[in-house]
Amino acid sequence: MITYEVTCRYCRQPFHVVEGTKKYADYKKNHQANFSCDTCDRLIEDDSRKYLFNRD
């Protein structure tokens, strides 16, 4: 299994992208792309969900 270490753009923690995932494909396309770790992905998802629910 091939992995690359990248840095999360939000928490600045290094994490690994794993072969076969979307992030891995993004990394192969653009090594300078901004990556977010799974933890931050989940937080962002939660936040956007909260935002949607609290809009009114």
Question: Helix/strand/coil (H, E, C) string of 19-44?
Answer: CCCHHHHHHHHCCCCCECCHHHHHHH
Q: How many Å apart are CA 53 and CA 48, to the nearest integer?
A: 9
Can you tell me which residue has the tokens 């494909």? 25
**Options 4, 10, 16, 43; binder of Zn ion; rule CB under 5 A:** 10
Binding status of residue 11 toward Zn ion by CB under 5 A? yes
Binding status of residue 44 toward Zn ion by CB under 5 A? no
Binding status of residue 8 toward Zn ion by CB under 5 A? yes
Measured from the CB of residue 48, what is the shortest distance to Zn ion in angstroms?
A: 16
Binding status of residue 6 toward Zn ion by CB under 5 A? no
